[in-house]
Amino acid sequence: MECRVLSIQSHVVRGYVGNKSATFPLQVLGFEVDSINSVQFSNHTGYAHWKGQVLTAEELNVLYEGIKLNNVNHYDYILTGYTRDTSFLETVVDIVQELKRLNPKLVYVCDPVMGDQGSMYVPENILPVYRDQVVAVADILTPNQFEAELLTGRTISTEKDALDVMELLHQMGPDTVVLTSTDLTSPHGDQFLVALGSQKMVRTDGSKSTQKIRIEMPKVDAVFVGTGDLFTAMLLAWSHHHPNDLKAACEKTVSVLHHVIKRTITYANEILQVCKPSFISGLGGWSQTIPQVKKLDVEVLSWRGYTWSAVVRLVGRTAKFSKTTEAAYEMAGPGKRPNPAQLELRMVQSKKDIEDPDIVVEATIL
Ligand code: ADP
Ligand code: PLP
Ligand code: ZN
């Protein structure tokens, strides 16, 4: 049975956000993905520089018209993420409504990307469009805590607040709501990130029920980009396979995220180790204290993660000087941590984990 997704998200030349974060994982899981690139940027906006083009609402309509003229506008899922423009988002709503008329079973998976940690990174006038038009046609909604607060006008300080907010969001439209990340403290301690989910279901006897879950995942001390987009794509895929079991769908989703993030941070730390130039320039002072070392040539023999302690061998080529010494050198300022390019998700390398994730996170039914 073919399952076709229309994914309207960002494209980046380098790296993994938006469609680059969603398409490959969905294809690996057997979905046909038709992608419309809402922007085409060189890279995500967390880099020092970024350049590119933005698709207008009219251009979105033109692409959709082409699909429609060929009568291939039949979809099982629509997936949307980061959007900055209100008229673009309104056009998305029109497309969703038309596609739902053509396929009443179509599922619209919406990540209402607006901001994080109390600040918006899209224009503020996008909020009323999400709140008053988009959420009403969404079936699966994946806001983070801040976005859920914006949409409902409530603040979340406790798990009870979060459950109430998810209930309000259900009343606005979607049967499935997942708060992908919150500031709530985990019963397992502050090393864990808490996500919450709620799904309305109709039992076989026609009665209604709600499954509410809490997911706790180990926090990694780095900022990843594209993880929200990967989360939403994987929730689409796994709730397709487990339509009435949010717990199972979220466990698989979060496990994929865990494997991808772990591979990404491991790789980022590895490339920092071979990233000698910045370390060597940090060691510049050494060449002054050891006069024989005219041309500083440092060989890093071993490394201990984040603290930048290393055993190094200094080789003075001009004089016959060689010395192995232990350096506990704290790099100051930037350069100590992986940069955005080094933290791009290791997506291709994670193919097997995406296809068949080892379940490493168990959700709690509330
Ligand atoms: P959003 O703000 O839209 O929730 P995030 O990218 O912050 O998006 O989080 C999405 C998911 O990515 C989380 O549910 C979690 O599974 C994973 N994730 C993101 N950042 C981290 C991190 N630093 N440590 C562990 N998991 C993370
Ligand atoms: N799209 C673009 C162009 C971006 O620059 C970003 C983040 O910088 C995103 C989407 C969203 O990324 P995330 O999944 O981390 O929310
Ligand atoms: Zn997000």
Question: Where do the domains of the chain lie?
Answer: 4-268+340-365, 284-328
Q: Domain 4-268+340-365 in CATH: superfamily? A: Ribokinase (3.40.1190.20)
Q: How far apart are CA 231 and CA 234, in angstroms?
A: 5
Q: How far apart are CA 248 and CA 10, in angstroms?
A: 28
Average pLDDT over residues 82-108: 96
Q: What is the pLDDT of residues 48-65, one digit of tens each?
A: 899 999 999 999 999 999
What is the reported pLDDT for 269?
78
Residue closest by Cα to atom 10 of ligand 1: 228
With cut-offs at 50, 70 and 90, classify the pLDDT of residue 203: confident
Ligand 1 and 145: CB distance under 6 A? no
Ligand 1 and 181: CB distance under 6 A? yes
Determine how β-strand 77-80 pairs with β-strand 119-120: unpaired
With cut-offs at 50, 70 and 90, classify the pLDDT of residue 196: very high
Q: Please give the number of the atom of ligand 2 that sits closest to the Cα of 21.
A: 14
Q: How far apart are CA 275 and CA 324, in angstroms?
A: 19
Instruction: Respond yes or no on whether ipTM tops 0.85.
Output: yes
Ligand 2 and 344: CB distance under 6 A? no
Average pLDDT over residues 298-326: 40
Task: Pick the more confident residue, 202 or 211.
Answer: 211
194 residue type, one letter: V
146 residue type, one letter: F
**Catalytic sites, residue numbers:** 229
Average the pLDDT over each of 182-186, 204-208, 296-300 and give the range with the smallest value.
296-300
- Nearest alpha carbon to residue 247 among 213, 294, 210: 213
Contact criterion met (CB below 8 Å) for 354 and 25: yes
Average pLDDT in the chain: 85
Asked whether the predicted pLDDT for residue 318 surpasses 90, the reply is no
With cut-offs at 50, 70 and 90, classify the pLDDT of residue 291: very low
With cut-offs at 50, 70 and 90, classify the pLDDT of residue 297: very low
Cβ-defined contacts of 268-274 (< 8 Å, 24+): 268/222, 268/338, 268/342, 268/343, 269/305, 269/306, 269/338, 271/338, 271/342, 272/338, 272/342, 273/300, 273/303, 274/300
Contact criterion met (CB below 8 Å) for 176 and 158: no
Asked whether the predicted pLDDT for residue 317 surpasses 60, the reply is no
